[in-house]
Amino acid sequence: MTATAALWLTIVGVGVYHGLNPAMGWPLAVANGLEKRRASAVLATLLPLGGGHFAAMAVVLVPFAWLTWYVEWSRAIRLGAGVLVLGFGLYKLLRRRHPRALARIRPTQLAWWSFLMATAHGAGLMLVPFMLGLCIAPSPAPDGGALAGAAMGHAGQWALMSHLAQSNAATAVAVAAVHTLAMMLAGLGMAWAVYRYLGLHFLRRVWLDLDLAWGASLVIAGAAGAGMAL
């Protein structure tokens, strides 16, 4: 398996993990389905949840992708991003509390709630090291290649760097989209299983508290990102 394929599989895996986490909203889909007494309400709730989650991913990933425009600083950016994610993971391990302001949500605010919840939990940060791994800029060619690059002039170099930045931004959006799709499918599967088969008694007996695992996964993602940058 290539490194690129491994990174994409990790992004999908993190999406599945986010989708299974109750903090990302699938219990709200179950509640909406039970309240309206129709299965379509479960899917209808997951759409705004997914939209908010996608926005939270893109808001974090795209700026980091544009930062790789500065090729000479790409290693420092990746290392700094890894340390940032690792530090946030340690913070979540030491302070496992949900924002009280997000405890109550009206149906018309689901997308906004999903965006804020994912941001507060550092869901987008978890993807940064893997996204930057996909945005690694090629090393400048030595000797003749470097001379040819210099001969292009300042305007040509600016155009090349701008194209690189746009390409990385597109990669960031693709990462956010693939991740959110995996998150929505996993959340839909969990919500549908509880709504259709397991029922509310399942939630009363078994509550999936993933706060500890969430903080640990942030630490692992940050350490992996810093390690890939070294």
Q: What is the pLDDT of residue 58?
A: 94
226: Cβ contacts below 8 Å, ≥ 6 apart:
78, 79, 82, 83, 86, 129
Directed axis angle between helix 40-67 and helix 153-193, to 10°?
150
Q: What is the pLDDT of residue 29?
A: 85
Answer yes or no: are the C-beta atoms of 183 and 19 closer than 8 Å.
yes
The CA-atom distances, in angstroms, between 227 and each of 11, 60, 72 are 17, 21, 18
Torsion of CA 199, 200, 202, 204, to 10 degrees: -170
Residue pLDDT tens, the chain, 230 long: 788 898 899 999 999 999 988 878 888 888 888 888 888 888 888 889 999 999 999 998 988 887 765 555 667 776 777 788 788 778 777 775 655 544 456 656 788 888 988 887 788 888 888 888 887 644 444 444 544 444 445 555 455 455 555 678 888 999 999 999 999 999 999 888 888 877 666 665 555 556 677 677 777 777 877 776 66
Q: What is the pLDDT of residue 216?
A: 75
Q: What is the pLDDT of residue 125?
A: 86
- What is the domain range of residue 164? 3-229
DSSP secondary-structure letter at 37? T
Q: What is the pLDDT of residue 186?
A: 94
In total, how many domains does the chain have?
Answer: 1
**Six-digit token string for 110:** 């689901």
End-to-end CA distance of the chain: give it in Å, rounded. 22
> What is the rounded CA–CA span in Å between residue 71 and residue 209?
41
Q: What is the pLDDT of residue 179?
A: 96
**Three-state DSSP class for 148?**
helix
**Six-digit token string for 46:** 């997951």
> What is the rounded CA–CA span in Å between residue 6 and residue 11?
9
Amino acid at 107: P
